[in-house]
C-alpha cells in the first residue's frame, strides 16, 4: 500500500525556511520519519512537493487509485487554494491536513483553511511530529495498525 505525502509551496526548503517557525527538519527528514512510521504495516510513502497549485492538483488526480490515503500540508494554499480544495474533494481516500506551525497563533490570514472542512483530521503546531501523528491516524483509519 502507498501513502501519499503531499507538500505545497515553500515546503521544499524546509530546514532553512524560517527555522524559528518551521523547525530545522528537512523534507527528506520528514519523508524518512513518515516512512518509518508506516513501515510496520508494510506501507510505502510517495512524497511529492510542488510550489504550484496545478502540479498538486494533477498529482492528486493521478493517484486516486494506488494510494490508501494522504497527508497534505497545503502551505499558503490553505488560504485560497480552491482548485486544490476541489481536487481533494474528489480524492477517494482519507487524508489529513498538517501544518508545522500553530496557524492560529499567527497572522489572521492563516486562521482559516479552505481544505480543512474536507479533511478526516487536522494536525497543527506540532512541527514535524505532526506528520508522524497524521501517518499513525491514517493507519488507524485504514485498520492497518499493528
- Residues belonging to the active site: 22, 99
C-alpha cell read off for 124? 497543527
Q: Interface with ligand DQA includes 101 (CB under 6 A)? A: yes
CA distance 131 to 137: 10
Q: Interface with ligand DQA includes 103 (CB under 6 A)? A: yes
- Integer angstrom CA distances of residue 88 from 3, 26, 35, 40, 58: 15, 25, 22, 27, 11
C-alpha cell read off for 49? 512537493
Stretch that binds ligand DQA, among 56-64, 73-81, 88-96, 135-143 (CB under 6 A): 73-81
Q: Interface with ligand DQA includes 76 (CB under 6 A)? A: yes
Q: Is 105 exposed, middle or buried (0-12, 13-18, 19+ CB in 10 A)?
A: exposed
Q: Which of 56, 60, 100, 119 binds ligand DQA (CB under 6 A)?
A: 100
The answer to whether 86 is annotated as binding is: yes
CA distance 91 to 104: 27
Q: In DSSP terms, which residues pair with 14 in a beta bridge?
A: none
* Count, residues in the chain: 146
Q: Interface with ligand DQA includes 71 (CB under 6 A)? A: no
Q: Which residue is nearest to ligand DQA (CB)?
A: 75
The answer to whether 52 is annotated as binding is: no
C-alpha cell read off for 75? 502551505
Q: Interface with ligand DQA includes 99 (CB under 6 A)? A: yes
Q: Which of 46, 110, 121, 133 binds ligand DQA (CB under 6 A)?
A: 110
Q: Interface with ligand DQA includes 26 (CB under 6 A)? A: no
Query: Binding residues for ligand DQA, per CB under 6 A?
Result: 10, 73, 75-76, 78, 99-101, 103, 110
Amino acid at each position: 500500500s502507498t501513502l501519499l505525502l503531499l507538500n505545497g509551496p515553500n515546503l521544499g526548503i524546509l530546514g532553512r525556511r524560517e527555522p524559528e517557525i518551521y523547525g530545522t527538519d528537512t523534507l527528506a527528514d520528514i519523508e524518512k520519519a513518515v516512512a518509518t512510521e508506516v513501515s510496520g504495516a508494510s506501507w510505502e510513502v510517495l512524497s511529492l512537493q510542488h510550489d504550484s497549485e496545478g502540479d498538486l492538483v494533477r498529482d492528486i488526480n493521478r493517484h486516486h487509485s494506488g494510494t490508501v490515503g494522504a497527508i497534505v500540508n497545503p502551505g499558503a494554499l490553505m488560504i485560497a487554494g480552491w482548485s486544490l480544495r476541489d481536487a481533494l474533494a474528489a480524492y477517494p481516500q482519507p487524508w489529513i491536513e498538517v501544518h508545522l506551525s500553530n496557524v492560529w497563533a499567527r497572522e489572521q490570514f492563516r486562521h482559516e483553511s479552505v481544505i480543512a472542512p474536507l479533511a478526516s483530521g487536522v494536525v497543527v503546531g506540532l512541527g514535524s511530529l505532526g506528520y508522524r501523528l497524521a501517518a499513525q491516524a491514517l493507519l488507524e483509519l485504514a485498520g492497518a495498525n499493528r
